[in-house]
């Protein structure tokens, strides 16, 4: 067997002992993310021609957590196009269905 000892694991245990529902909202981890996001961005930018899927995915995840409008919003439009499921507009309240083949 192996005993893994790390400050990170201690911080995780403390967070769960304190009843944290989301580790990224727990002060220790939230501060780490806030303090190091710019460094992560710099790594991704400087390595743009290198395959760094984990760094890129981590940055994408952080960006998605802090974004008010995501590229995934297009899924509502696609669902409406293929099955009249409606979509929610961002410029006014309510849900709508668009007649996609018409020239409105």
Q: Which domain holds residue 79?
A: 73-104
24, 30 contact by CB (below 8 A): yes
Alpha carbon distance 91, 70 (integer Å):
15
- What pLDDT, on a 0 to 100 scale, did the predictor assign at position 104? 57
Question: How far is residue 80 from each of residues 61, 70, 89, 100, measured CA to CA in Å?
Answer: 26, 17, 12, 9
Does residue 14 form part of some domain?
no
Alpha carbon distance 24, 27 (integer Å):
8
CATH number of residue 97's parent domain = 1.20.5.320
Does residue 85 form part of some domain?
yes
Q: Give the chain's domain count.
A: 1
Burial class, 23, CB count within 10 angstroms (exposed 0-12 / middle 13-18 / buried 19+): middle
pLDDT average per 10 residues of sequence, the chain (104 residues)? 76 94 94 96 97 96 85 82 86 88 68
Does residue 25 form part of some domain?
no
- What pLDDT, on a 0 to 100 scale, did the predictor assign at position 93? 92
């Amino acid at each position: 067997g192996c005993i893994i000892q790390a400050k990170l694991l201690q911080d995780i245990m403390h967070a769960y002992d304190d009843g944290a529902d989301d580790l990224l909202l727990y002060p220790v981890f939230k501060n780490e993310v806030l303090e190091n996001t710019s460094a992560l961005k710099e790594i991704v930018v400087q390595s743009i021609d290198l395959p760094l899927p984990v760094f890129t995915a981590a940055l994408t995840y952080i960006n998605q957590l802090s974004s008010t409008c995501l590229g995934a919003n297009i899924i509502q439009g696609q669902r409406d196009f293929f099955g009249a499921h409606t979509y929610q507009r961002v410029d006014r309240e309510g849900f709508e269905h668009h007649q996609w083949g018409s020239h409105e």
